[in-house]
Amino acid sequence: MLSPVKLRRSLCLVFVPFLIISGIVIFQSGVYHKIPKSLVPSLSTGAEKPIPIRKPLADAPTPIVDNFPLAANANSTTDLPPVPSWNAPPTIHVAESTPLFIGFTRNWRLLQQTVVSYITAGWPPGDIYVIENTGVMGSNCDGLLTLQNPFYLDYHRLMKVLGINVISTPTLFTFAQLQNFYIYTALANNWTHYFWAHMDTVVVSDEEREPFEPLYTRAVSALRETLDPNWGPLATLWFAYDRLALVRTQAFVDVGGWDTMIPFYMTDCDMHERLWMRDFRIENAEAGKVWDVASSLEDLEVLYRKVDYVDSNAQRNSPTYKDLVQKFDDMQRAKATDSGGRNTWQARQRGGQGEPFYRDAEGFERAVWMWMEFGRDVFTEKWGRGPCDIRDAGMIEGDAWRVEKGWEKPEVQWKYAKMKEESAKVRAAEMKEKETSNAKEKPVV
Ligand SMILES: *[C@@H]1O[C@H](CO)[C@@H](O)[C@H](O)[C@H]1NC(C)=O
Ligand SMILES: *[C@@H]1O[C@H](CO)[C@@H](O)[C@H](O)[C@H]1NC(C)=O
């Protein structure tokens, strides 16, 4: 007979290796990963998978058509009419670098209109940079997206026919990140200044103004004025609000760039207040007419003003000019009074299913709106309160993230809470309106 001690030792000798080996076998064979079915709590009563409640499919919107047929058939810049003679860019480039960034995420027609309007207002095409911020990586460059895809961008048209440049962001950026990418690009090119324009704007030189100067020339003059040391430290010049803006790169670097934690709305408040806190100057300037639009001319060729050349004498301030101004005034008014809100133009195209980096157009729109809302909350946390006027409220740069939330007097807080509630109501109504109007999409104008 074995003593109890010896017995225990023998059992150990047999069982311990057995346990180790079977453990390894079970682990290797993957049995370990299988959880017995009976242990998984079942949400459905039957054996079938639950069926998600899917949203009804909206009718396909009216397909968009290209808004510059002449350019669609052109192979190079020489196939396009010349820029109106009175707007022609200087034959020798001005001494200053004058890059103009135009960010693009969605809506090809609006972008093309913006670009062509800058070219025909005298901006040197070689100085115009479309910053592709679609998140489709090389797909547009490789021509893999089609016109009905919201993120469609025609590289050939922009570079070979219109003669401008395209730079792509590496992935989809928020507004704040895109702005920092402008700074980054300016630094990489040693550009002390850059201009940037919203892609839902359109410009023309002011032809009623005497003596006449093209929009580009006036923008350069505005830049030169700020170069005088007596002028003071420039941060940014705004032409027609910030529809077109001039930025002094170093000022934006000095305050650490845009706060990317505030992705869309309020990030401009945060940036500009921080610039003012350091006594940088932000001023208004004028260069010509700049509109904020949500629609495009049917044919951009009219911007080349061919009909205004009579016996090779060119006519400024002609009926064509007045007609253009009228049209853009109407388009701006339509945007401002659109029942669907200001931001309807982003969701005009809903095609591109199956193409690289395809995203549901309505889902994309919804998600961006959610980020916009989120940004307001971050701003509120950062400065302890929601409204834009953080300097007027007595705060200095070092107060960012260092004040108690809701530090302000209760009556001020109450007023703001009321304001926020009201604007949330308005936005909710806008979203609802937009959803209904998306469902019965109007033809694109
Ligand atoms: C562009 O090239 C194509 C193919 O060579 C040609 O058919 C077309 O006529 C050209 N367009 C113009 C405006 O010259
Ligand atoms: C920018 O300036 C630096 C220093 O003078 C120079 O080395 C670099 O090549 C310049 N970059 C460009 C793009 O001109």
Measured from the CA of 188, which atom of ligand 2 is nearest?
13
Q: What are the tokens at 233?
A: 């430290």
Spatial contact of 343 and 233, defined as CB atoms under 8 Å apart = no
Q: What are the tokens at 315?
A: 């006519």
Residue minimizing CA distance to atom 5 of ligand 1: 75
**CA 308 to ligand 1 centroid distance, Å:** 27
pLDDT recorded at residue 354? 96
191 C-beta closer than 6 A to ligand 2? no
Ligand 1, CB cutoff 6 Å, lining residues: 73-75, 79
In tens digits, what is the pLDDT along the chain, a chain of 445 residues? Answer: 445 556 566 555 555 555 565 555 554 544 445 555 555 555 555 578 999 999 998 888 889 999 999 999 999 999 999 999 999 999 999 999 999 999 999 999 999 999 999 999 999 999 999 999 999 999 999 999 999 999 999 999 999 999 999 999 999 999 999 999 999 999 999 999 999 999 999 999 999 999 999 999 999 999 999 999 999 999 999 999 999 999 999 999 999 999 999 999 999 999 999 999 999 999 999 999 999 999 999 999 999 999 888 766 688 999 999 999 999 999 999 998 876 556 666 667 889 999 999 999 989 999 999 999 999 999 999 999 999 999 988 899 999 999 998 888 777 767 767 877 887 788 777 767 655 554 443 333 2
pLDDT recorded at residue 10? 58
Taking the C-alpha atoms of residue 262 and residue 269, their distance in angstroms, rounded to an integer, is 10
Could you please state the CATH topology (level 3) that the domain comprising 69-358 is classified under. Answer: Spore Coat Polysaccharide Biosynthesis Protein SpsA; Chain A (3.90.550)
Q: What are the tokens at 168?
A: 């792509």
pTM for this predicted structure: 0.83
Residue minimizing CA distance to atom 13 of ligand 1: 74
Q: Domain map of the chain by residue range?
A: 69-358
pLDDT recorded at residue 312? 65
With the most atoms of ligand 1 within 8 angstroms of its CB, the residue from 68, 70, 73, 301 to mutate is 73
pLDDT recorded at residue 60? 80
Pairing between strand 128-132 and 100-104?
Answer: parallel
Measured from the CA of 189, which atom of ligand 2 is nearest?
13
Helix H, strand E, coil C: the string for the chain is CCCHHHHHHHHHHHHHHHHHHHHHHHHHHCHHHCCCHHHCCCCCCCCCCCCCCCCCCCCCCCCCCCCCHHHHCCCCHHHCCCCCHHHCCCCCCCCCCCCEEEEECCCHHHHHHHHHHHHHCCCCHHHEEEEECCCCCCCCCCCCCCCCCCCCCCHHHHHHHCCCEEEECCCCCCHHHHHHHHHHHHHHCCCCEEEEECCCEEEECCCCCCCCCCHHHHHHHHHHHHHCHHHCCEEEEEECCCCEEEEEHHHHHHCCCCCCCCCCCCHHHHHHHHHHHCCCEEEEECCCEEEECCCCCCCHHHHHCHHHEECCEECCCCHHHHHHHHHHHHHHHHHHHCCCCCCCHHHCCCCCCCCCCCCCHHHHHHHHHHHHHHHHHHHHHHHCCCCCCCCCCCCCHHHCCCCCCCCCCHHHHHHHHHHHHHHHHHHHHHHHHHHHHHHCCCCCC
Residue minimizing CA distance to atom 1 of ligand 1: 75
CA-CA-CA-CA torsion sign (361, 336, 245, 64)? positive
pLDDT recorded at residue 421? 80
pLDDT recorded at residue 420? 72
Measured from the CA of 75, which atom of ligand 1 is nearest?
1
**CA 75 to ligand 1 centroid distance, Å:** 6
Taking Cα atoms as reference points, which of 94, 112, 92 lies closest to residue 104?
A: 112
78 C-beta closer than 6 A to ligand 2? no
Residue minimizing CA distance to atom 2 of ligand 2: 190
pLDDT recorded at residue 40? 53
pLDDT recorded at residue 45? 58
Which residues have C-beta within 8 Å of that of residue 161, sequence separation ≥ 6? 71, 74, 75, 76, 77, 79, 80
